Amino acid sequence: MIRVENITKTYQRGSVEVPVLRGLSCEIETGTFTFFVGPSGSGKSTLLYLMGALDEPTSGEIVLRERKLSAMGARERDQLRRNEIGFIFQSFNLLSNLTAVDNVLAPYLTIPRDATQKRPEAIKLLRQVGLSDRLDHRPAELSGGEQQRVAIARALLKKPSLILADEPTGELDTENGAEVFQHLRRLHAELSTTVVVVTHDQRYIQPDDRVLEIRDGLIATATSKADS
């Protein structure tokens, strides 16, 4: 479903060019659970943002479900991000003044009719991630693990075909981290959603997962059960 073709990404820091990705290629099949691992600073987040059309590569192409991201206009990219991709970030990215339910509904709050219509589903998703008694809590009134579960419910509300998670357990202890992965695994098993997780923490990798290691801006090793 995702084809990354010879991607380079060079950041400009003042007059200094910082090459991060150096001609990286890989493919992610529909319905797989894929990890990108690698040392801090190796370009994992950069790659994830490029795959999610949050940023553009310096050169190369990303093809998502047979559509070239470079050929999309701003509107089409917006719609792709808004409707098809569920993003989960290390720092949860919740809105501090909104309740858990409204955070799940946040992408739709600008259109009140949509938000009202989706509200029951938002509550159902919060129940599924174990937060039925936290619906009206604001982020400051929730633990880190609970905040990340709100973010998962928010990502799920759009029934995404693709979940992109950047260090989703980076700010959580082992127990809460394991719980976040339980929800991602359940979603993957039940809906066959393609899940891509970027992490430097290899604790949550399971034998069937595909693991791609980024080093020096390239894929250093790729393993999956099929290869072994």
Binding residues for ligand ADP (CB under 6 A): 11, 13, 18, 20, 38, 40-46
Residue 149 interaction partner, one of ligand ADP, Mg ion, none, beta carbon < 5-8 Å per kind: none
3 state SS of 203: helix
Separation CA 197–CA 22 (nearest Å): 21
Partner residues linked to 34 by β-bridges: 196, 210
Q: Is 45 in the site for Mg ion (CB under 5 A)?
A: yes
Nearer Cβ to Mg ion (45/148): 45
Q: Among residue numbers 158 through 187, which ones bind Mg ion (CB under 5 A)? A: none
Q: Which stretch binds Mg ion (CB under 5 A): 39-47, 80-88, 98-106, 114-122?
A: 39-47
Instruction: Give me the least distance between CB of 111 and ligand ADP, in Å please.
Output: 31
Between CA 8 and CA 10 the distance in angstroms is 7
| CB 166, CB 200: distance < 8 Å | no
Which listed option, ligand ADP, Mg ion, none, makes contact with residue 169 (CB within 5 to 8 Å by class)?
Answer: none
The residue (of 24 and 105) whose beta carbon lies closer to ligand ADP is 24
> Considering just the CA atoms, what is the radius of gyration of the chain in Å?
18
Task: Answer with the entry of ligand ADP, Mg ion, none that 140 interacts with (C-beta below 5 to 8 A by kind).
Answer: none
Dihedral through CA 65, CA 66, CA 68, CA 72, nearest 10?
Answer: -70
Region 78-137 residues binding Mg ion, contact defined as CB under 5 A: none
Residue with Cβ nearer Mg ion (46 or 193): 46
Place of tokens 């991201």: 69
Q: How far apart are CA 58 and CA 55, in angstroms?
A: 10
Q: How far apart are CA 174 and CA 203, in angstroms?
A: 9
Q: Per CB under 5 A, does 148 bind Mg ion?
A: no
- Binding residues for Mg ion, total number by CB under 5 A: 1
Q: Which is nearer to ligand ADP, 49 or 191 (CB)?
A: 49
How far is 199 from 146, CA to CA, in rounded Å?
20
What is the nearest approach in angstroms of ligand ADP to the Cβ of residue 11? 3
Positions in the binding site for Mg ion (CB under 5 A): 45
